Structure 1
């Protein structure tokens, strides 16, 4: 055997040993723009962590929630890093389903996380159980040119009556321009996120102080009738199938006069590479009805580690990379400051480069800070959450109610029938779960 053969053999053994020691993290994530961008930038992570490989499972929002919930509840162990929302974190932490993030590294700076966002991810023990990849509220994004053409000026803090009047005036169905695009796709985190936040402004609530469902009350009827009529007059066709991504595409292609949705969308609608109307977009706070509450929610998409993983150390390294300050700088270098994931760090909103590049920065921060998850509605409630109710049963109930309201929007059932069905199914589930007798 020659020296060359021996050396080659040794190299291949070392290479195999290297492959054997590489850990592969399976990451479940949602198919939105910020998460897709993160996947494209992971060469930076791999260069800094050569022993860790990444495998992505990228799913539509409703499907992601279903798969991740099933996997963690059954201890399936399919994923090492989960993308989950502000709704799941405190509930799952209490169940012991998530590992605390105790080793994010000396330079991570947990205290830089925005207090409103961080508090929703902190367990009763004061530990962080998920790290925010981006945080958001909701706001109005609108076409300044169409608003001007309609002879109107958008206030910084509009009412729903102003929005409805403007939407009808901006609609030009002959040219496929619709005054307003709003979520209609059924799902507790799709149409019900929007409608629950909106209902708060109309004085409605999911439950009274004794957990009795409230869909038989006039405030919910006012909310749903207003929404269905507005969408019938000024919304796009097929709106009952439209969620966040579908409305984003409609707005970017110039088909929406206004869109009320997640503040995170601002960087996509104002990006000239992706949006035909990038230079025409204005921003305003989510609307109110004069009762003292605006329809702006509070949410973060977060990265968390399921308790069943065997790769917790590698998973925490990945989360530290993806949600740390250096990641924001990396996105800024590649795609500009306007496109960094928003809504997580105080330092970002103090950064003059970001303020200059992102005309929506102040409105985003104001909207996040204005949300009040502990007092979301005009009347008192027994739950925490602005666009959701932070109880385990909400996922199923919220989606079932969302199906009723989506059917009302599609004209398949009346508003009254949808509300009656929502009341009955919610009462049934709350009795089954022992909240009410």
Structure 2
């Protein structure tokens, strides 16, 4: 549901950004998670410096956000001046001229951005979206439940070890589930996890000739294990769970393990949000026959549509919101364990952050290990870990996500779901002229 909020100026900013003299009203499309909500709450710091600028926030869940910004930019709607997009959209839309290049001041220190994140938001060396936070995926687990079950999970477990731990920690009588995973359909929801899981089993989206490979034994093995694991050890209603739903379950103490975005670590270790904050530990995403592509790479980033009438003002806001100074502001105001992570090398060198964020090393290791140019066991023609960086993928991945959710609900067999996805992808790739 849309939520429009206009924020008035209150206090002084900490960032140095380009001079803006024109009055402008910026409409910002963003996602409804904790870090983005913090950005809205701290925006008066920006508005104090730029009293001629007004910020109107339009907040969506992840699925709605992707639908709304994609529709707006492809149709030239001009509804937004700042869009929250990801590593999938930024290079494709930048190449098509749909986004304004981001030309920041020297004080922004663009080279401080983690190279994999910066490159994933660029096209031919030009930055088209600035990362607000970056992430990979990893295992987050209850160390107390693991200890009580007599199990030790290493830093780089395989799927057999994860399943054994999930079984040992499951206590349905007391509402504790061994593992919580995304089941809600979407190329950025259940498929973000499932594609990385399939990668670890040796699967891939397309072969070297761009033909879909979704009925392979590797895909079948991964999806079968996913559904079997969630059915036996996951919470009821998993087919409706995305990030926010599982975050609530974990913070309530109802998940033994959760494999998802590293950014979640700052929320589940916050005693103000989590009832289990003192009993959380971390490990790398599980491997199958390989650890290639086992953990995703993503950034939620801010971009300016080329059709905006306030590109200078919008760029100024983005520079403030993604600067090192903004990270320091969050650290000072909210605590260093709550800063947006996964974007800047300087964050991980900061002693305050290292002291506050017990997840820092695990998160950075996950991000650095994800290689979008080499994410599958066998050679693939595409760039991307949990997605293929081609325009057709969003439609294909969205349809595949629906089929996987139907299989999780029991409406389709796994073979039927994969066959449907294969046929759909084959038709889409042929129509696009790949073969």
Same fold (TM over 0.5): yes
Q: Which residue of 2 aligns with 1:287?
A: 286
Equivalent-residue separation in structure 2 for 1:372 and 1:21 (angstroms): 42
Q: Which runs of 5+ in 1 are unaligned?
A: 1-19
Equivalent-residue separation in structure 2 for 1:194 and 1:79 (angstroms): 29
* Residue 262 of structure 1 pairs with residue 257 of structure 2: no
Deviation at 1:282, TM superposition (A): 0.2
Equivalent-residue separation in structure 1 for 2:375 and 2:425 (angstroms): 20
Deviation at 1:369, TM superposition (A): 0.4
8 Å contact from structure 2 (residues 293, 385) kept in 1: no
Q: Which runs of 5+ in 2 are unaligned?
A: 1-20
Deviation at 1:106, TM superposition (A): 2.7
Tell me the secondary structure at the aligned position of residue 223 of structure 1: helix
Larger Rg: 1
Number of positions where the alignment pairs a residue of Structure 1 with one of Structure 2 = 415
Q: Which residue of 2 aligns with 1:225?
A: 224
Q: Which residue of 2 aligns with 1:78?
A: 79
After TM superposition, the structure 1 = structure 2 runs for residues 220-369 of structure 1, keeping only pairs within 5 Å, are: 220-293=219-292, 295-369=294-368
Equivalent-residue separation in structure 2 for 1:62 and 1:379 (angstroms): 31
* Residue 214 of structure 1 pairs with residue 220 of structure 2: no
TM-score (norm 1): 0.94
Equivalent-residue separation in structure 1 for 2:22 and 2:328 (angstroms): 30
Deviation at 1:294, TM superposition (A): 5.0
Q: Which residue of 2 aligns with 1:34?
A: 35
Superposed CA offset, 1:236-267 (max 9, x none) = 00001101111111101000000000000000
Equivalent-residue separation in structure 2 for 1:431 and 1:174 (angstroms): 50
Equivalent-residue separation in structure 2 for 1:291 and 1:37 (angstroms): 38
Equivalent-residue separation in structure 1 for 2:324 and 2:371 (angstroms): 26
Superposed CA offset, 1:319-348 (max 9, x none) = 011000111111111110000000000011
Equivalent-residue separation in structure 1 for 2:291 and 2:37 (angstroms): 38
Tell me the secondary structure at the aligned position of residue 300 of structure 1: strand
Tell me the secondary structure at the aligned position of residue 180 of structure 1: coil
After TM superposition, the structure 1 = structure 2 runs for residues 159-174 of structure 1, keeping only pairs within 5 Å, are: 159-174=158-173
Superposed CA offset, 1:41-88 (max 9, x none) = 100000011111100000011111111011101111110000000000
Deviation at 1:143, TM superposition (A): 0.1
Deviation at 1:191, TM superposition (A): 0.3
* Residue 110 of structure 1 pairs with residue 117 of structure 2: no
After TM superposition, the structure 1 = structure 2 runs for residues 14-93 of structure 1, keeping only pairs within 5 Å, are: 22-93=23-94
8 Å contact from structure 2 (residues 99, 305) kept in 1: yes
After TM superposition, the structure 1 = structure 2 runs for residues 71-220 of structure 1, keeping only pairs within 5 Å, are: 71-102=72-103, 104-124=104-124, 126-220=125-219
8 Å contact from structure 2 (residues 87, 120) kept in 1: yes
TM-score (norm 2): 0.94
Deviation at 1:116, TM superposition (A): 1.1
8 Å contact from structure 2 (residues 293, 375) kept in 1: no
8 Å contact from structure 1 (residues 192, 398) kept in 2: yes
Which has the larger displacement, 367-376 or 423-432?
423-432
Equivalent-residue separation in structure 2 for 1:71 and 1:166 (angstroms): 45
Q: How much is the aligned-residue C-alpha RMSD, in angstroms?
A: 1.0
8 Å contact from structure 2 (residues 200, 290) kept in 1: yes
Equivalent-residue separation in structure 2 for 1:390 and 1:290 (angstroms): 24
Superposed CA offset, 1:351-409 (max 9, x none) = 11100100000111100000010111101101000011111111111010000001111
Q: Which residue of 1 aligns with 2:4?
A: none
Tell me the secondary structure at the aligned position of residue 131 of structure 2: strand
Superposed CA offset, 1:9-56 (max 9, x none) = xxxxxxxxxxx9631100000111100110011000000111111000
Equivalent-residue separation in structure 2 for 1:120 and 1:426 (angstroms): 24
Q: Which residue of 2 aligns with 1:379?
A: 378
8 Å contact from structure 1 (residues 122, 129) kept in 2: yes
Q: Which residue of 1 aligns with 2:18?
A: none
8 Å contact from structure 1 (residues 131, 302) kept in 2: yes
Equivalent-residue separation in structure 2 for 1:224 and 1:419 (angstroms): 9
Tell me the secondary structure at the aligned position of residue 206 of structure 1: coil
